Structure 1
Amino acid sequence: MYSKRSPGRAQGAASYAKVGLESDVLSASPHRLILLLFQGADTAIGAALVYMQDGNAAEKGRAISRALDIVNNGLAAALDLEQGGQLAVQMASLYDYIARQLLNANLKNDSTPLLEARKLLEDLASAWREVDPGRQHS
């Protein structure tokens, strides 16, 4: 079914999903991009929890690093501290706390800080969905 040069079924599905995500990112509004970052962080933390449970320290570390990258270089970097005022400052502080929880989880191999970081990000994502500028309000 597949030639020796084509990727296997799982790799093909992953490539297809990556193209789908890239298409979503390229066509996304700024609001949607933040939601995609929240989704990516959640996925990375979920993977880290699985790897932690399986005892796979290397993959756990990679997954936590992905989550940290999203929090620090995506979510926190997207804040406009000048125009966002006190709310943006508080969000920056919260992202810093989340990043420290992720680091703590990795260093201590402890799922509790991972779960806390995940819950905080879920709460923020939920609030972000509520303020969708494209959503119809009644």
Structure 2
Amino acid sequence: MNTRRALNSYAKVSCEANIGVASPHELIQMLYDGALQRIVQAKGAIQHNQVGVKGKKINETIAIINGLRENLDLDNGGDLANNMEMLYIYILSVLNKAHQKNDIALLDEAAQLIGNMASAWREISPSKVTESSL
């Protein structure tokens, strides 16, 4: 068996198992982490001139950010939810530009913004996060 395929299979099963038992707070953290991992992979793809991989990884990151954005509670989240939506929209535009221009610096900018959000998310008490607040 191909070692790379075995590792990918293990990672997929491990991730699916974690999703099944994760709290809402942990799920959001997993999404941030997944977005950051895909940005790193996209940067590597640019460096190795792997256009297809770059596109796939940036598109996966965009899908994650869109998922986070679509699940904001704009009706009850007040200014915080609105500000997060604006930040997500900005990150999406940065990712699109990075994709068009093969620009690692733009990927770094998106990663920094997502990393800051992930750090702030880690500081939130998991007991304050419920499925209805996502």
Q: Tell me if 1:122 matches 2:120.
A: no
What are the ranges of 5 or more consecutive residues in structure 1 without an aligned counterpart?
1-6
Q: RMSD of the TM alignment (CA)?
A: 1.3
- What residue number does 2:3 align with? 9
Structure 1 stretches of at least 4 aligned residues deviating more than 4 Å after TM superposition: none
20, 25, 35: which one pairs with 1:26? 20
Larger Rg: 1
Displacement of 1:79 after TM fit? Answer: 0.9
Q: Tell me if 1:40 matches 2:34.
A: yes
Over residues 89-137 of structure 1, what are the superposed CA-to-partner deviations in whole Å (9 max), with x where a residue is unaligned? Answer: 0000000000000000010111111100000000000000011325xxx
Of structures 1 and 2, the one with the larger relative CO (CA 8 A, separation 6+) is: 2
Q: Tell me if 1:57 matches 2:57.
A: no
- What residue number does 2:132 align with? none
Q: Tell me if 1:109 matches 2:96.
A: no
- What residue number does 1:98 align with? 91
Displacement of 1:8 after TM fit? Answer: 2.4
Structure 1 vs Structure 2: percent identity of aligned residues?
A: 41
Scaled by the length of structure 2, the TM-score of the pair is 0.91
Q: Between Structure 1 and Structure 2, how many residues are aligned? A: 128
- What residue number does 1:132 align with? 125
Letter in 2 for 1:83: N
Scaled by the length of structure 1, the TM-score of the pair is 0.88
> Following the alignment from structure 1 to structure 2, what is the Cα–Cα distance between the partners of residues 54 and 33?
31
